[in-house]
Amino acid sequence: MAGAIALLSCVAPAQAEDGYELWLRYRPLSPSYTDELAAVAPTLMVDAPSSMTIDAATGELRRAFAVWLDRPLPIADNGAGLLLCRVDRPCAEALPEAAGKAPALPGAFRIDRLNGGRVIISARDDIGLLYGSFALLRQIQQQAPLAELPQADAPRVAIRMLDHWDNVDGSVERGYAGRSIFQWWRLPGYVDPRLTDYARANASIGINAVAVNNVNAPATFLTPRFIAKTAALADTLRPYGIRVFLSARFSAPRDLGGLATADPLDPDVQRWWRAKADEIYAAIPDFGGFLVKANSEGQPGPQDYGRTHADGANMLARAVGQRGVVIWRAFVYDPDPAVERTMQAYNAFQPLDGQFDANVVVQVKNGPLDFQPREPVSPLFGAMPHTQLGLELQITKEYLGFSTHLAYLAPLFEEALDTGGLGKDGRATLAEVVAGGPTSLIAGVANIGADRNWSGSHFDQANWYAFGRLAWNSALSSDAIAREWAAQTFAPDPPLVDAVAAMMMPSRQTLVDYMTPLGLAHLMGSDHHYGPAPWVDDLARPDWNPVYYHRADAEGIGFDRTATGSNALAQYRAPLAKHYADQRDPALPWLLWFHRKRWDDRLSTGRTVWDELVTRYDRGVAGVDAMAARWDGLRGQVDARRHGEVAALLAVQQAEARWWRDASIAYFQSLSKRPLPAGHAAPAHSLDWYRAQRFPEAPGI
């Protein structure tokens, strides 16, 4: 019987996988690679004072090697095996000269292979040893030749942060992956073991900070009960080098403290916040600080009292003191919609440059509007040289098809990070503007929920992964990240990795093509942002309506943001303004963001604006079909469960890409009155049909 079972397990199809393990799967490797590995790592030796972080590192190494070697990896006091070495310990004598010398942000590490093959991971701090361990495991999971292991790596940005928009009741604003993983009600008594896996995943990609609650925050999160809950989370995340932040409601002194005001210049208010910060630090000694959305979309803030954003931020920063930072969001728009929407954050913040305390970071969304499939970068990155600016990206796909569309976001992140013409002399890239100091920050709005696969779809895990990797090192390429993710998530099989990367790399452009081609933006359904609704024109504020953004009429389409229009272009430094003002490739993707064009104007592609628009919608639909066909070709190479789940979502995306294309063309054609270019099919339904669709149950709010 035992023999029969053994035989069966040899021929059984690959184990059903549900995606829970993310990219930390540690599956058996090829026999020859395993032999090599067994030779370099017969044992694990640690020369570092004991700590929870060292335990996390050794635990992770032993977990993986136990699978690879098919036996436990013994911890040895000496010997020739794998070595974790803190550079202030005797082990450092064996290291190359350079080790531990270069000044760097915490977390830097080296992996060296000494003569005789011994692998040493060294770092100046425990978290560096943990990151080095994960880097080694990443290489091995990809079956990278052992000769390629040596590397030295260090983060470029100090605070690499996930912002969870999780609510007290367990719902997640703009969340498409189930309920909050934090399970507020059961904390602090019960901490879901899943949170340790969450911490492992974050540490494996260098994420070291987490804001655990929505920026639309009730003051509840600052009550003693919730401080105790947050402290339990912090205890769980701490071994993995992750600091916890809270989103703070600016009116908390009134809401909780019984004060008559939350005026940041009021001494009682200042005292209240100092006492609140002390109370939090007593419970969470390494508390990261506060994240604040103030005077934005109905949230309270210093302007309620005639004070500035700097007054508000500095007051909180002084309450926190040297112990942490205040991250103050620049996502604001004026209560008076007379000023063009994309210019408002700049107008509100640029004049405050130089007025923020040293422990304030002003967190700016990548674009001047709101996480659209494609935006130019925010002009603030070129306009506040005396302020520590942080970058906010959105990992959850609020405007990019939720978790039902496959869109790999690394190219979007990379496009923003690599944009030049910024900084004080107009010569820095966005990545350079945000990198460097002890409060440098890149934050991403998390796409994580209680779904078994964490992100709602297997491919959305790649967006969490890529965010972490790029926040650590913005010089990594999207393609390289896609490949290392695919090898770890599916299998280190080069043709499979090629095929998966070939699906991922064009996927964001494909989505731009079928949703918001040529620089269009904000055409999604009201509130939930699901599906196309370019016709909406009846919302209370003009700048909430899609028609405000595309401005299409019988004559043409697009928003004139040049000097003849709103002149938002003037908020950019000259080289970048010049780039965005161009109307040819490579600036064509922003054409209708900055320019108003007549339907028959001819573009550098040789087509008219109308024909180009239709061509791009169809290119988007074809791109999704190509992605689905490629995935279909991987049947049998990817475990059946994950293959089937991805295939099902791709079928949804195929249908919804057509819907986007058809509804958009039906609407714009009702204005342009132009025939479709030859070879392009008419929409499946009438414009009225598309306009009549309603989705009151759409998720995310």
Q: Which of 192, 197, 266, 370 is catalytic?
A: 370
DSSP string, 374-387: S-PPPGGGGT-TTS
Binding ligand GCW by CB under 6 A: which of 226, 290, 371, 559? 371
CB of 335 to ligand GCW, least distance (A): 15
| Tokens standing for residue 634 | 């991987």
Say which of 166, 340, 398, 611 is annotated catalytic.
398
Q: In this complex, which beta carbon is closest to ligand GCW, that of residue 521 or of residue 613?
A: 521
Binders of ligand GCW among residues 377 to 416 (CB under 6 A) are 398
363 vs 429, which CB is nearer to ligand GCW? 363
| Side-chain-facing half-sphere of 626: CA atoms under 13 Å | 16
398 given a catalytic annotation = yes
333 touches ligand GCW by CB under 6 A: no
Tell me which residue has tokens 């944009």: 419
The angle, 0 to 180 degrees and rounded to 10, between the axes of the packed helices 224-237 and 267-283 is 40
- DSSP 8-state assignment for residue 96: -
> CA-to-CA distance for 287 and 211, rounded, in angstroms?
10
| Least distance in angstroms from the C-beta of 173 to ligand GCW | 5
Residues in 239-278 at the binding interface with ligand GCW, rule: CB under 6 A: none
Query: Which of 99, 136, 162, 215 touches ligand GCW by CB under 6 A?
Result: 215
Are 478 and 410 in contact by the 8 Å Cβ rule? The answer is yes
- Residue 262, classed as helix, strand or coil, is coil
Residue 174 sits in the site that holds ligand GCW (CB under 6 A): yes
Position among 173, 357, 601, 625 found at the interface with ligand GCW (CB under 6 A): 173
Q: Cβ of residue 445: shortest distance to ligand GCW, in angstroms?
A: 7
Binders of ligand GCW in range 416-475 (CB under 6 A): none
Q: Six-digit token pair at 255? A: 């809401």
Interactions with ligand GCW, residue window 303-332 (CB under 6 A): 331
How many Cβ atoms are within 10 Å of 19's Cβ, its own excluded?
Answer: 23
Q: Are strands 243-247 and 209-211 parallel, antiparallel or unpaired?
A: parallel
Listed in sequence order, the residues at least 6 apart from 646 whose beta carbon sits closer than 8 Å to its beta carbon are 406, 457, 458, 459, 631, 638
Is 423 strand, coil or helix? coil
- Nearest approach, Cβ of 329 to ligand GCW (angstroms)? 7
Please, which residues bridge with residue 441 across strands? 159
**Options 165, 328, 413, 593; binder of ligand GCW; rule CB under 6 A:** 165
Number of chain residues interacting with ligand GCW (CB under 6 A):
11
340 or 398: CB nearest ligand GCW:
398
Rank residues 293 and 658 by Cβ distance to ligand GCW and give the closer one. 293
* Host H or E run for residue 692: helix 687-692
Residue 353 and residue 383 in contact, taking contact as beta carbons nearer than 8 Å: yes
Shortest gap between Cβ of 697 and ligand GCW (angstroms)?
17
Dist. CA 242–CA 237, nearest whole Å: 5
Q: Go through the chain and tell me how many residues it has.
A: 701
Identify the residue among 34, 196, 216, 637 touching ligand GCW (CB under 6 A).
Answer: 216
- Cβ nearer to ligand GCW, comparing 86 with 174: 174
Q: Which of 164, 243, 276, 293 binds ligand GCW (CB under 6 A)?
A: 293
- Coil, strand or helix at 193: coil
Nearer CB in complex with ligand GCW: 143/299: 299
Known active-site residue 370? yes
When asked if residue 370 is in the footprint of ligand GCW (CB under 6 A), the reply is yes
Please, what is the minimum distance in Å from the beta carbon of residue 426 to ligand GCW? Answer: 28
Return the number of the residue (158 or 446) whose C-beta is nearest ligand GCW: 446
Which of 70, 297, 527, 553 is catalytic? The answer is: 297
Distances (CA, A) of 98 to 103, 241, 571, 630: 11, 25, 44, 46
Helix (H, G, I), strand (E, B) or coil at 272: helix
Measure the CA–CA gap between 292 and 281, rounded to whole angstroms: 18
Question: 3-state SS of 163-179?
Answer: ECCECCCCCECCCCCCC
Rounded Cα distance between 524 and 526, Å, is 6
297: annotated active-site residue:
yes
Phi, psi of 666 (to 5 degrees): -60, -45
Which residue sits closest to ligand GCW, CB atoms considered?
370
Is residue 528 a contact residue for ligand GCW (CB under 6 A)? Answer: no
> Hey, what amino acid is at 273?
W
Cβ of residue 296: shortest distance to ligand GCW, in angstroms? 6
Going by C-alpha positions, the residue among 395, 491, 511, 402 that lies closest to residue 444 is 395
Question: Residue 17 or residue 398: which is nearer to ligand GCW going by CB?
Answer: 398
Q: Decide: 81 and 69 in contact? Cβ < 8 Å.
A: no
251 vs 478 by CB, closer to ligand GCW: 251
The CB-of-144 to ligand GCW minimum distance in angstroms stands at 39
Helix (H, G, I), strand (E, B) or coil at 144: coil
Residue type, 503: M
When the beta carbons of 247 and 664 are compared against ligand GCW, the nearer one is 247
Instruction: For the CB of residue 5, give the shortest distance to ligand GCW in the complex, in Å.
Output: 52
- State the nearest-atom distance from the C-beta of 663 to ligand GCW, in Å: 21
Residues that bind ligand GCW (CB under 6 A): 165, 173-174, 215-216, 293, 297, 331, 370-371, 398
- The residues annotated with a catalytic role in the active site are 297, 370, 398
